[in-house]
Amino acid sequence: NAGVMQNPRHLVRRRGQEARLRCSPMKGHSHVYWYRQLPEEGLKFMVYLQKENIIDESGMPKERFSAEFPKEGPSILRIQQVVRGDSAAYFCASSPSGGAGELFFGEGSRLTVL
């Protein structure tokens, strides 16, 4: 059973470009979460999605950031007009519906903005 798959693992963008990060949850998991880890900092929650629905986006910056989890295909975290401050590791996690279980994390996508 494959784990949470994230790609790309590393992404370099110039200021003003767009970054798209993809996440495929574990098989059978219908809940996806995105977290951001800035250098020397902990993990900050960004958004929680279920298929075709954003459940909680309280951690998403108001501008330039968006997320989706379509009926078919991976979840996408999109950052428009990237700035240097967006350089970070972005982690996706998934969980099954219900329960009180843990989150399963991917290996992360490391974004560098030049």
Partner 1 sequence: AQSVAQPEDQVNVAEGNPLTVKCTYSVSGNPYLFWYVQYPNRGLQFLLKYITGDNLVKGSYGFEAEFNKSQTSFHLKKPSALVSDSALYFCAVRDMLTGGGNKLTFGTGTQLKVEL
Query: What residues make contact with partner 1 under the rule CB under 8 A?
Result: 4, 31, 33, 35, 41-45, 48, 50, 53, 55-56, 91, 93, 95, 97-108, 110
Q: Closest Cα partner for 89 from 38, 32, 23?
A: 38
Query: What does the alpha-carbon distance between residue 18 and residue 54 come to, in Å, rounded to a whole number?
Result: 21
Residue 81 CB, nearest approach to partner 1 (Å): 27
Which residue number, 50 or 80, has a Cβ lying nearer to partner 1?
50
Smallest gap from residue 3 Cβ to partner 1 (A)? 9
User: Quick one: 30 or 66, whose CB is closer to partner 1?
Assistant: 30
**Least spacing, CB of residue 16 vs partner 1, in Å:** 27
DSSP code of 64?
S
Cβ closest to partner 1, residue 5 vs residue 76: 5
Integer-rounded Cα radius of gyration of the chain = 13
**Residue 46: which of 19, 63, 67, 26 has the closest Cα?**
67
> What sections of 1-114 are H helices per DSSP?
none
